[in-house]
Every structure is written in structure tokens, then in C-alpha cells.
Structure 1
Amino acid sequence: MFNAITHSQLYVLDQDEAVDFYVGKLGLEVNTDVDLGFMRWLTVNVPGAPDRQILLQLPGGPQMSEQTAEQVRDLVTKGALGTVILTTSDCRKTYEELRAKGVEFTQEPVEQPYGVDCGIRDPFGNHIRFTEPRTA
């Protein structure tokens, strides 16, 4: 029936600040940045992997009331919405590079049964994990 997942979505509170973080600090690239009138369609992806994008969306628009949008903004800042998991070939090196850029960490690299794993938070409260998968 289905053959791919192309987009996932995270709520952010400021799309320009999101670009600064996801592109400027994490090294992702902007895939699409289009004003649709009722919203700005802003997606990023891992360089060279455009078939899996993250939509960085503001709460609100025609799909939700302002009251609901305010509740979503509150949940985002509490870290209650959204998680993205990325992979890296060297978790500890990526940790050091991101730490030098001032990224906020929620967990330093730690050995897990599946590899080395680490946690960060974006400027809005969303959780991001990155993992160096264990090789067989």
C-alpha cells in the first residue's frame, strides 16, 4: 500500500530561528521554503538525503484555533511534543562539535545496546537524539 515516509513534522516557535539551529548548528539543509499564504512550508533534511524531510511548522493556521495553538506552543516549550532521531558515524565527535557551537545537551554520549546515543534540545524544547548505531 505505502512505500515511504517522506515528511515528519515538528512544531517550532520561530522558523528563522529554527533554520539557524537546524541548518547553522546541526548541519541539515533547507529543502523547501515556500510561502503558501496560510503558512510557510519549511522543510530541512540531512544533506544528500532529500527523500526524508522534517517540516518545521508554526502552531496555528487554518487547521487549529488560536486557543489550541497557544496550548501547542506551551507544550513545545515544555518539551512535551516532538522527537527526532538522527544517526552519525561518530557520536562522541558530533557531541564535541555541537557542544562547541553551544547546543544544549540533555544527555551526554552513553553506550546503549544499539550503539552510542546522545540527547539535545532545540531552542524551542523539542527533543533530538543522535545515535552511532552499533555495527554487527
Structure 2
Amino acid sequence: MIKGLGIAAVWTLDQERTMAFFTQKLGFEVRNDITFGGVRRLTVGAKGQPEVELALLGPGHDSVDAESARALRTLISGGVLGAAGFRTDDCFGDYETFRERGVRFLQEPRERPWGIEAIFRDEDGNWYALTERLSGDLDPARGWGDVVGESC
């Protein structure tokens, strides 16, 4: 029986740069950084959540054939891959902290039916939601607000 998510992939063109983004700007920790068979296995995770890791994978990963690697490079370079939603208990505070650390936000914190949400990108263009969830059920009266844009 599945117990929950353990590892999720984040595609990157530069593992070092992406590791620095997660550790220096978001405050994550490196969980694994080993190389075998010519492939670097690099994972990061949120402090205090040891059961979930993000695997920072390059398009040259051993599970990717040459044609798929070319396609991945194009998708990564174009910033069209969405990666994850991160939970927070203070969306406004984390938004300010991360902006001060150089994180590029597409959307400042806004009310949504599920809570307060901000949207940001990493240096490869992968996008992430930063969400402070409502307690209880969704609240459609809160509305959707503006469409995400490049305004922040």
C-alpha cells in the first residue's frame, strides 16, 4: 500500500545552480549527493520533512534516452515545466524573505479559494506555488483573483 510521496523530480540544466537555489534561497537541506555510474544523484528537502525529497535531475540522466534529453532541454529552457506546491504557515512572510534572497515571483501572495498563494520560478524557469492553506473546506467566495503574470 502506498504510504505517501517520497521523491519527486525537478528537471534542471545545472544541478549546482539548482541546489544553491533550494538551499540558499529557500532554506532546504541537501539529503544525498553521490555519483555512481557517471550519474550524480542529488536530492534536497525541506528541513523538518525528512520523508520527502526532490531529486534534481539533468536531462542527461541515465533513465533518459538521447531524443528525450533533447526534448527535456528545450522544455526546461522554455520554463514550461511546473514542479511543485510548497506549504507554508506564513505566505506573506516567506514571500518577503524569499524576495530578499532573490527569488523571482510571478505572483505576490493572493487570496484563493484554498488559501493564500504566491507563485515563483527557479533559475531554470520551473514554477512553484507557495501556499498557506485555509483550515477546513475550500471557500469559493474568496474568488480566484488575477491571472498569474510576470508582474512581481
Q: Same fold (TM over 0.5)?
A: yes
**After superposition, what is the alpha-carbon deviation per residue over 1:8-30, rounded to whole angstroms, capped at 9, x for unaligned?**
00111111101110000011111
Inter-partner Cα distance in structure 2 for 1:61 and 1:128: 22
Inter-partner Cα distance in structure 2 for 1:54 and 1:48: 14
Inter-partner Cα distance in structure 2 for 1:6 and 1:130: 19
Instruction: Give runs of aligned pairs for residues 85-104 of structure 1, distance below 5 A.
Output: 85-104=85-104
Inter-partner Cα distance in structure 2 for 1:14 and 1:65: 18
Shift of 1:92: 0.7
Shift of 1:73: 1.1
Q: Do the aligned residues in 2 keep the contact of 1:38 with 1:61 (CA within 8 Å)?
A: no
Q: Do the aligned residues in 2 keep the contact of 1:77 with 1:126 (CA within 8 Å)?
A: no
Instruction: Show structure 1 runs of 5+ residues with no match.
Output: none
Structure 1 residue aligned with 2:41: 41
Query: Larger Cα Rg: Structure 1 or Structure 2?
Result: 2
Structure 1 residue aligned with 2:9: 9
Which letter does structure 2 place at the counterpart of 1:91? Answer: C
Instruction: Show structure 2 runs of 5+ residues with no match.
Output: 137-152
Inter-partner Cα distance in structure 1 for 2:135 and 2:5: 24
Inter-partner Cα distance in structure 1 for 2:83 and 2:13: 15
SS in 2 for 1:123: coil
Moved over 6 A (4+): none
Structure 2 residue aligned with 1:128: 128
Across the aligned residues of Structure 1 and Structure 2, the Cα RMSD in angstroms comes to 1.3
**After superposition, what is the alpha-carbon deviation per residue over 1:73-113, rounded to whole angstroms, capped at 9, x for unaligned?**
11012222232110111101111111111111111110011
